[in-house]
Amino acid sequence: MLQVKSFTFSPIQENTYLLYNDQGKAIIIDPGCYFTAEQETLKNFIKDTKLEPVQLLNTHCHLDHVFGNKWVHETYGLELYLHAQEEAVLQRAPASGERWGMPFSNYKGPLHFLAHGDKVHLGTDELQVILAPGHSPGSICFYHAAQEFLVGGDVLFHESIGRTDLPGGDHATLLNSIREQLYVLPESVTVYPGHGPSTTIGHEKRHNPFVRVA
């Protein structure tokens, strides 16, 4: 069984997720820790909970989701897993940081590409990779069917959706991704988004003003 721990980091208020099992193994998803104090918050939780991070995942590579990639790599020796179409987004992230007044050192280690339908394993637990572009060209979500939760990045928020005005974004594509990839999941599935509070598939189908289908 996986535990889900969230941290809200950086001035952009991004949600970083730590998934861990009873054996103390952990996956870090979208480390958005920008300040040293935020890095220490994540590090101390990992230490105090006696966890061993074994994988680093990005749902997508906008700057607020990758601030901490390099630090995680240097601290825990982890290499980055992402969708192939996010490589160019990752490369542009430091320039975006300069424009937003938040310069940072980018991850430059090896890249490992995930595709739709791939599986990510943490012990006996399995996360399914769901490709859901629109907010970013290679946005992916991680779905744990057994525990009915989804780490969704910036695809679907509580009664909102990801912005589509950044390079590679497309509004129609995002709406299609939500309808065809996420709304087909059970309504009881909890969605852990890249910003803001968690929600459920059922709540969004009934109440999301951008993609209401029920």
What's the structural domain count of the chain?
1
**Domain assignment present for 27:** yes
Residue 129 sits in a domain whose CATH number is: 3.60.15.10
Q: If you average pLDDT over residues 150-160, what whole number do you get? A: 98
Task: With a cut of 70, say whether residue 214 has pLDDT above it.
Answer: no
Q: Give the chain's largest Cα–Cα span.
A: 46
Residue 23: CA count within 13 A, CB half-sphere: 8
pLDDT digits (tens, 9 = 90+) for 80-123: 999 999 999 999 999 999 999 999 999 999 999 999 999 999 99
Task: With a cut of 80, say whether residue 189 has pLDDT above it.
Answer: yes
**Domain assignment present for 167:** yes
**Domain assignment present for 195:** yes
pLDDT digits (tens, 9 = 90+) for 124-148: 999 999 999 999 999 999 999 999 9
Distance CA 170, CA 164 (A): 5
**Domain assignment present for 135:** yes
pLDDT digits (tens, 9 = 90+) for 14-64: 999 999 999 999 999 999 999 999 999 999 999 999 999 999 999 999 999
**Domain assignment present for 212:** no
Distance CA 143, CA 22 (A): 19
**Domain assignment present for 66:** yes
Per-chain mean pLDDT for the chain: 97
Q: Provide the domain limits for residue 18.
A: 3-207
**Domain assignment present for 213:** no
Amino acid at 33: C
**Domain assignment present for 48:** yes
Answer yes or no: are the C-beta atoms of 153 and 17 closer than 8 Å. no
Residue 91 has a pLDDT of: 97
Residue 212 has a pLDDT of: 86
